[in-house]
Amino acid sequence: MVFWSLDKVKIMAGLAQEFRDEAYNEGVTTTEIRFLTRILEKRIGTIPAFIMKEIKKADSETLDFWFSKAIDANEFDDVFKK
């Protein structure tokens, strides 16, 4: 039988929570990417590789901002032009 100290248990619990949080955030971001790419493809067409690269490295806030713009977009510049 293995006994862990209270400190080790706290460390493991903290790591487990970090893992759950990260997995949740990755899941949210993956979903946001999926919805953004879907609306872009429906409204505009095939997404160029350089835009897809930007989408994949964007944070949740940016993806949400782009999604809001994509709803009425007619071209990629309507969404991604700075």
24-67, pLDDT tens digit by residue?
667 778 889 999 999 999 999 999 999 999 999 999 899 999 99
The mean pLDDT of 17-21, rounded to a whole number, is: 70
pLDDT of residue 5: 75
CA–CA gap between residue 23 and residue 52 (Å, rounded): 22
State yes or no: pLDDT of 2 exceeds 60: no
pLDDT of residue 11: 76
